[in-house]
Amino acid sequence: MQLENHFKKESDNLIFNKLGQLLKTNKLAKTVEIILVFLIAFLFIKAFGSNESSDLLYNQAIIWTANIMMLIIVFTGIKLRGEGLEHFGFSFKKVTWKIGLKTFLQSILVFILALAGFVIGSIIMANITGIPESSDMSSYDYLKDNIWMLFLTLGGVYIVASFGEEVIYRAFLINRISELGLNSKKGKILVVIVSAIIFGLAHYSWGIMGIVQTSFMGLVLGGSYLYLKKRIWVLIFAHGYMDTILMLQMYLN
């Protein structure tokens, strides 16, 4: 029995090693991985999401679950490749006050620039349509005057949006698409644009205005990710500031 388990373990390791090697060297495997991350989340939301207007909190939980599934696939890909989280820009070194202050100040700057991108998207859409409409944020109506839901939602948002979306739409997408042969300067610009568009489309429930706003926000965040040499924590904090303001607006509305 022990010998049988040993051979089974060796066989599993061989399969995982081959799959990891494919993900590292084969462009088709890389493409399939990218598609799989988003396809599984999309199908999950379509299968379990509700069209009832009273199920706002339920639908939010479905979206959070889908994002967590995406993160699992992303981190599984890292594990199979034998890469460390440093590949995506994570650093777990001891934080000195100088590094902490620098990270904070950079995150504030990125936050301001991302907010400006969000506003520019609004202005462009208003000029195109002639109507200064806003994003459809009705999916957060359950937050109005409900302080406990605000705290619960902020906790979930920090995990699946502030952290999760930066890992998925910046670190994962930008790195993996770049590995398809787009490592040149022009290629990286294209990668940032593509990642921003996908990020915008992921917010389709916010309406066309929300898609454009978040796409411009994604351009700033993607550009900042590369400019800052993949310092992902800076983007996570900046995204967290924006999410906090957004949730507070929904609560006070």
Q: pLDDT tens digits, the chain, 253 residues: what are they?
A: 554 555 456 556 778 888 889 999 999 999 999 999 999 999 999 999 888 777 788 888 999 999 999 999 999 999 999 988 898 999 887 888 898 999 999 999 999 999 999 999 988 888 877 655 667 777 888 888 888 888 988 998 899 999 999 999 999 999 999 999 888 889 999 999 999 999 999 998 888 888 999 999 999 999 999 999 999 999 999 999 999 999 998 888 7
Give the Cα separation of 244 and 153 in Å (integer): 10
Residues 228, 234, 238: CA angle, nearest 5 degrees = 125
Domain count, the chain: 1
Q: What is the pTM of this model?
A: 0.90
Number of other CB atoms surrounding residue 224 within 10 Å: 22
Domain of 8? Answer: 2-252
CA nearest to 120, candidates 6, 220, 194: 220
User: Under a CB-based contact definition with an 8 Å cutoff, are residues 232 and 244 in contact?
Assistant: no
